[in-house]
Chains A and B, each alone.
Chain A
């Protein structure tokens, strides 16, 4: 399946609010939902709902992929301030209806969205790209590794849950 790609516009806000890249936290009737089993997915999911395109800063790119059912994938990246040519992938997400069962392996859509993001990042003049991934998020780590973005354990992180993945073009 090939998605139709374009940068987000104002009219996409509603679709972003309805986008879900993860299942809701388990909940028993009449009780509050328990903590999300994959908090790194839940955080990204909530942040996508808070996105309000169009991007006001020119350094940001918010890319959306659509299939016949609507919004299917989201990617957000930026060029790092004061480091021309160095880009940071801020998030990549695939709608849960297109994710593989269990969410631990790399789906075709995830490969497609990272491919498209990297193509566009390269076209924007990137020399180097970096992403910070939760160490429990095996699927994203494998996805990045498959695209040449390898973990750099020497990269100094403040949040010990994160691992930097870096590559050059």
Chain B
């Protein structure tokens, strides 16, 4: 399995629809049909692939999908980092060659919203994480979760990519709403500096799995008799019946 960058808790969505790519590319890019074509020719945006939409009446149009790496490539391009954008574009193209047949086969019987349940979903997440792991950490500023929405601001509780320290970032609610995100969504916060201007954008992500070496997460113990935050009625009754003065005394050593 590919290694994740040290301080990332999540990774990019492996697949995005073309319409999402346009929507998520941000105001800097304003992707028109011509601009998209030009960026595809430059290798920044991957070619993508279209899948027929099947209904009970037969085929009703097609939907176009791209590797999520294209989204990051666009952000890098918008920030002026063309080398990174090109290498991400190449990775996106390789991703699509590798997973296109699986996605097409899966979407022949399932809706796109069911992709996270596909048997190859984790492979796509890992491949995406692997391709983006060498990405400049100062571009992906932080990795977090939309913890709260208050008034006109959304608060992202995040871990800084560079040093792993925690931070709470207020961002305008508009950029959260524009991406169709809400509380609890995992995101990357991207930051680019151009002269004296700073551009903050967010991209939706999927939480990554626990460390390879570690055991899987399982909160069964925290719900068990020993680990839960409660006691049984009989135990509470027993404790209430005790003469506290007769109990042994806590000893704090040293």
Q: Mark out the residues of chain A between 42 and 63 whose CB falls within 8 Å of any chain B CB in the assembled complex.
A: 42-47, 49-51, 57, 59-60
B221 touches A43 (CB 8 A): yes
1/0 per position for A118-131, CB-CB distance to B under 8 A? Answer: 11001000011111
When the two chains form their complex, are residues A46 and B217 in contact, meaning their CB atoms are under 8 A apart?
A: yes
| Among B27-35, B172-180, B192-200, B233-241, the stretch in contact with A | B233-241
Q: Which of B17-25, B108-116, B119-127, B223-231 contacts A (4 or more CB under 8 A)?
A: B223-231
Name the prevailing secondary structure of the A interface residues.
mixed
**Contact residues of B between 144 and 170, Cβ < 8 Å to A:** 144-145, 147, 157-159, 164-167
Is B191 part of the binding interface, using a Cβ–Cβ cutoff of 8 Å? no
Bound-complex Cα distance A122 to B249 (A): 12
Q: Does B9 contact A (CB under 8 A)?
A: yes
Docked pose: A122 CA to B250 CA in angstroms: 10
- Check if A148 is an interface residue, CB within 8 A of chain B: yes
The answer to whether B59 has its CB under 8 Å from any CB of chain A is no
Q: Is A142 an interface residue (CB 8 A)?
A: no
CB pair B166–A9 under 8 Å, yes or no, is: yes
Closest A residue to B216 by beta carbon equals A46
Contact A128–B244 (Cβ < 8 Å) = yes
By the criterion CB–CB under 8 Å, are A46 and B220 in contact? yes
CA distance A93 to B101 in the complex (A): 46
B residues less than 8 Å from A47 (CB atoms): 217-222, 227
Q: Which residue of B lies closest to A127 (CB)?
A: B244
Which residue in A14, A46, A134, A148 is a CB contact (below 8 Å) of B218?
Answer: A46
Band of interface residues on B = 35 or more
**Chain B at the A interface: mostly helix, strand, loop or mixed?**
loop
A12 x B213 contact (CB < 8 A): no
Nearest-Cβ distance from residue A128 to partner chain B, whole angstroms: 6
A1 close to B (CB within 8 Å): no
Cα A44 to Cα B216 in complex, Å, equals: 11
Q: Does A168 contact B (CB under 8 A)?
A: yes
Query: B27 to nearest A CB, angstroms?
Result: 29
Chain B, Cβ-Cβ closest to A59: B229
Distance A13 CA – B158 CA, assembled complex (angstroms): 11
Alpha-carbon gap, A17 to B167, bound state (A):
19
| B225 x A162 contact (CB < 8 A) | yes
Residues of A130-159 contacting chain B, CB below 8 A: 130-134, 146-150, 154-159
Interface residues as binary, A14-45 with B (CB distance below 8 Å gives 1, 0 otherwise): 10011110001000000000000000001111
Instruction: Report how far A10 CA is from B7 CA in the complex, Å.
Output: 13
Which residue of the partner chain, among B147, B227, B236, contacts A90 with CB atoms under 8 Å? B227
**Chain B nearest CB: distance from A95 CB in Å?**
11
A91 at the interface (CB under 8 A from B): yes
Whether B61 sits at the interface, judged by CB under 8 Å, is: no
User: Which residues of A from 90 to 105 have beta carbons under 8 Å from B?
Assistant: 90-91
Contact of A134 among B7, B147, B226, B232 (CB under 8 A): B226
Task: Decide if A162 touches B229 in the complex (CB within 8 Å).
Answer: no
CB of B215 within 8 A of CB of A45, answer yes
- In the bound complex, what is the Cα–Cα distance between A53 and B63 (angstroms)? 39
Q: List 13 A-B contacts (CB under 8 A).
A: A10-B159, A14-B164, A17-B211, A17-B214, A20-B213, A24-B213, A46-B215, A46-B220, A47-B217, A47-B219, A47-B220, A80-B229, A167-B250
A166 within 8 A of B: yes
Q: Which residues of B contact A119 (CB under 8 A)?
A: 252
Q: In the complex, given contacts A49-B217, A80-B231, A132-B226, what are 5 additional A-B residue pairs having Cβ atoms less than 8 angstroms apart?
A: A44-B227, A91-B221, A148-B251, A158-B225, A168-B247
**Closest CB in chain B relative to A151 CB, distance in Å:** 10
CA distance A128 to B241 in the complex (A): 13
Cβ-closest 10 pairs across A and B: A11-B166, A49-B217, A47-B221, A148-B251, A50-B219, A50-B217, A46-B218, A43-B221, A132-B226, A78-B229
Q: How far apart are A36's CB and chain B's nearest CB, in angstroms?
A: 8
Within 8 A of A (CB), among B95-109: none
